[in-house]
Amino acid sequence: MGSKPKVTIHHIAEKLNITASTVSRALNDNPRISEITKKAVLKAAKQLNYQPNNIAAALRNGKSHIIGIIVPTVDRAFFGSVIRGIEEIANKLNYKVIICQSYDNYEKEVQTVDALLSARVDGIIASIGKNSTNLDHYKRPQEKGIPLVLFDRTTDELEVSQVMIDDYRGAYKMTEHLIQQGYRRIAHFTSPLKVSVFKERLRGYMDALRDYEIPFQEELVIKSNLQLEDGRAGMEQLLTLQERPDAVFSASDYGAMGAMQVLKEHKIRIPEEIGLAGFGNEPFTSFSDPALTTVDQFSLTMGRITAELFFENFKTGDKKIVPQKTVLKPELVIRGSSLRRPMPPEEQAR
Amino acid sequence: MGSKPKVTIHHIAEKLNITASTVSRALNDNPRISEITKKAVLKAAKQLNYQPNNIAAALRNGKSHIIGIIVPTVDRAFFGSVIRGIEEIANKLNYKVIICQSYDNYEKEVQTVDALLSARVDGIIASIGKNSTNLDHYKRPQEKGIPLVLFDRTTDELEVSQVMIDDYRGAYKMTEHLIQQGYRRIAHFTSPLKVSVFKERLRGYMDALRDYEIPFQEELVIKSNLQLEDGRAGMEQLLTLQERPDAVFSASDYGAMGAMQVLKEHKIRIPEEIGLAGFGNEPFTSFSDPALTTVDQFSLTMGRITAELFFENFKTGDKKIVPQKTVLKPELVIRGSSLRRPMPPEEQAR
């Protein structure tokens, strides 16, 4: 029996007749504390055999075994599937995953980072919200030695490892596919937001048109939130043009699905009269009639790779992490909505 | 300057020359500790002016401002939407929400409860996994004074508040709708698992048949996991019957969608030759052609009500909570897949 009580900063404070927070600041080398006090605190800590911050250090070394994930929303198949991939790897290594949603709201995202830190997570994996221009909140975990890894909606502003998809390539290949199917007036649904994924998709679309010598036309680019309703409105708008498009490539599957509904209401045949393509390979894209051509983002793989990168960073512990960037190649999923010619065999194999 | 260091159980242990864990057990009136020791501990605690468990109590009183949610999986629109409803209410009250997935795996669910407790959540809102027959892990939060509220997949084994949908009524009304549409050989996709939601839906289906004097036929009830692939297999099986069904009511939208794919492949017209209905009102049900008739579960409302019930329980603090059960009425969403006759106006209004 009779274990010695653990020495805390309170014992040091008591011995020196100063407050515990002064002791804490002194031990953390806070500039607001005088050198004399710091020396006294260190001396007392040594005499009392004080072990600094054991619990916090233990937690920081991975003792909570919890990883926090921040996504804009879980009810997108893409994010759900990435999380599944992360969890698969994490669980194998005996880590639990807790998930928070930012709803693309900057304030909520800031609060979420705080909540995860107060939930004592060992690390954070995040996809940045659409409206977060200031990213200081993502610096806090790192300051506390909590590793951060970003996926999909990433940034070069933070020195962290990131996993993303080659959105440019996906959009370029999709536009090329539509051109090869004989479509020439190809409209594009994009987002006005400065999120790089949508800018990259627009760039891929424009470059493919240029490479195939098809003039870019401003009136065929519709900017919106890319939800189902936006796709409906965008398609209605395109149908009022003097010369309507013969294909629509939407930067989101939801937008494409809205366009499909409108085309059906107008009895416009897909893919004969107007071809359709989305981006994301949401599960519902295979349920529609015709099924929707789209771009697969390998969300499960992205999750697994993100988790692996995270644990790689994690293992290095206190050592300086060299941020790594992994870019995945997306793949076209060609379905009925864009297929009005038989595909050449070499094209199918790609 | 000079704040008095807080008295901990370690000080009591030191004074009595016993271990801190013995002190802790004595203070918690653990039966394994002798009465003599208990008395000594209480006396020493009083002398030292010990304030029991301040931090833990503070946290329990809502200081972490985090609620943990446990769902089988976030990538079902139903759960995503319930979570959204919970979060809406929680955020208004300045609470953050963290989400964990059990993947319907018992072991994972147990670990998840532990993870949430170690993340110091103020309360837990959960939907029980399909395979959890032992529910002892859900007793732990309550033992620690952490309130628990259940939704959708609930149980009467635990004395907790719960919010659920009237699955029986939803299934009864849907079967009745199919009968009113002139279908007579109505098949049902259900789950072999002992989850009450599926048992209730099966019961609603059977009772409606009975009330309309349509004989129940075992061969028309297909048991499976109710995923897309299961729906496909189930439909293929039904089509091999000597006398095939003229309608299928699936206890999940995924199963119904699989059936729709198979019917289209067989060029069987929906709803003319075979009518189709699902359960859940997943977003993709409105994208298919024909759109799928289904049962709406008011998932967003369910989330809001669950959160309100939670905070109501929460406010009561240490006082004994009287568990409340809220049952929501589901609503039919009649779409093209089952509508082969015009609906009588009074029917549409329901």
- Picking from B20, B64, B68, the nearest residue to A118 by CB comes out as B64
| Nearest chain B Cα distance for residue A116, angstroms | 8
CA distances from A143 to A28, A213, A316, B275 (A): 13, 50, 16, 60
Chain A neighbors of B284, CB-CB under 8 A? 283-284, 287
Q: What topology does CATH give the domain B62-164+298-328?
A: Rossmann fold (3.40.50)
Chain A neighbors of B19, CB-CB under 8 A? 1-3
User: Measured on CA atoms in the order A252, A258, A259, A261, is the torsion positive or negative?
Assistant: positive
* A18–B1 C-beta distance less than 8 A: yes
Element (DSSP H or E) covering residue B246 = none
| Nearest chain A Cα distance for residue B214, angstroms | 32
Mean pLDDT confidence for B18-31: 76
Angle between helices B9-16 and B35-47 in degrees, nearest 10: 120
| Nearest chain B Cα distance for residue A213, angstroms | 35
Question: Under 8 Å CB-to-CB from B148, ≥6 apart: which residues?
Answer: B123, B124, B125, B126, B138, B141, B142, B158, B160
* A289–B284 C-beta distance less than 8 A: no
- For A295, the 3-state DSSP assignment is strand
Q: What is the pLDDT of residues B50-99, one digit of tens each?
A: 765 433 443 344 468 899 999 999 988 889 999 999 999 999 988 999 99
CA distances from B271 to A323, B274, B314 (A): 56, 5, 49
- For A125, the 3-state DSSP assignment is strand
Q: Tell me whether A91 touches chain B (CB under 8 Å).
A: yes
- Picking from B2, B8, B77, the nearest residue to A18 by CB comes out as B2
Distance CA B46, CA B26 (A): 14
Q: Which CATH number fits domain A167-297+332-347: 3.40.50.2300, 3.40.50.300, 3.30.870.10, 3.40.30.10?
A: 3.40.50.2300
Chain A neighbors of B119, CB-CB under 8 A? 64, 66, 98, 119-121
- The angle formed by the CA atoms of residues A275, A281 and A284, to the nearest 5 degrees, is 85
* A264–B289 C-beta distance less than 8 A: yes
CATH code for the structural domain at A9-52 = 1.10.260.40
The whole-number pLDDT of residue B180 equals: 96
pLDDT per position in chain A (350 positions), as tens? 334 566 777 888 888 888 877 887 787 666 677 888 888 888 888 888 776 543 344 334 446 889 999 999 998 888 999 999 999 999 998 899 999 999 989 999 999 999 999 888 999 999 998 888 888 999 988 888 889 999 998 888 888 899 999 999 999 999 999 999 999 999 999 998 766 788 999 999 999 999 999 999 999 999 999 999 999 999 999 999 999 999 999 999 999 999 999 999 999 999 999 999 999 998 889 888 899 999 999 999 999 999 999 988 776 655 566 788 999 999 999 999 999 987 665 554 33
First to last CA, chain B: 71
Domain extents in chain B: 9-52, 62-164+298-328, 167-297+332-347
Distance CA A256, CA A42 (A): 65
Mean pLDDT confidence for B106-124: 91
Residue of A nearest to B5 (CA): A10
- Picking from B97, B115, B289, the nearest residue to A289 by CB comes out as B289
The whole-number pLDDT of residue B56 equals: 41
Question: Under 8 Å CB-to-CB from B53, ≥6 apart: which residues?
Answer: none
In this prediction the ipTM stands at 0.71
- Picking from B11, B77, B112, the nearest residue to A96 by CB comes out as B112
DSSP state string for A170-182: HHHHHHHHHHHTT
Q: Tell me whether B339 touches chain A (CB under 8 Å).
A: no
| Nearest chain A Cα distance for residue B337, angstroms | 13
State the CB neighbour count (10 A cutoff) for residue B287: 24
* B118–A118 C-beta distance less than 8 A: no
Counting DSSP H helices and E strands in chain A, the numbers are 13, 12
* A87–B119 C-beta distance less than 8 A: no
B62-164+298-328 shares the fold of B9-52: no
* B283–A288 C-beta distance less than 8 A: no
CA distances from B254 to A340, B235, B246, B279, B285 (A): 29, 12, 19, 9, 9
Order of strands, sheet of B275-277, starting from the edge strand that comes earlier in the sequence: B221-223, B186-190, B247-250, B275-277
Distance CA A230, CA A221 (A): 13
Q: What is the pLDDT of residues B225-254, one digit of tens each?
A: 999 999 999 999 999 999 999 999 999 999
Mean pLDDT confidence for B115-123: 89
* A98–B101 C-beta distance less than 8 A: no
The whole-number pLDDT of residue A54 equals: 38
Chain A neighbors of B99, CB-CB under 8 A? 74, 98-101
Q: What is the pLDDT of residues B287-328, one digit of tens each?
A: 888 999 999 999 999 999 999 999 887 766 555 667 889 999
Q: Is the pLDDT of residue B4 over 60?
A: no
Residues 97-116 in A contacting B (C-alpha not used; CB under 8 Å): 97-101, 103, 108, 111-112, 114-116
Confirm if B275 and B181 have CB atoms less than 8 A apart: yes
The whole-number pLDDT of residue A153 equals: 87
Residues 238-257 in A contacting B (C-alpha not used; CB under 8 Å): 257
Q: Tell me whether B73 touches chain A (CB under 8 Å).
A: yes
* B257–A115 C-beta distance less than 8 A: no
> Kind of pairing, strands A186-190 and A161-165?
unpaired
- The angle formed by the CA atoms of residues B228, B231 and B233, to the nearest 5 degrees, is 110
Element (DSSP H or E) covering residue B162 = strand B161-165
First to last CA, chain A: 71
Alpha carbon A325 to its chain's center: 13
Residues 26-65 in A contacting B (C-alpha not used; CB under 8 Å): 64-65
* B284–A287 C-beta distance less than 8 A: yes
- Picking from B73, B111, B119, the nearest residue to A119 by CB comes out as B119
Residue of A nearest to B291 (CA): A288
Distance CA A183, CA B177 (A): 44
- If one compares B32 and A16, the residue with the highest pLDDT of the two is A16
Residue of A nearest to B92 (CA): A108
For chain B, percent of residues with pLDDT exceeding 90: 57
CA dihedral B42, B43, B47, B51 (to 10 degrees): 10
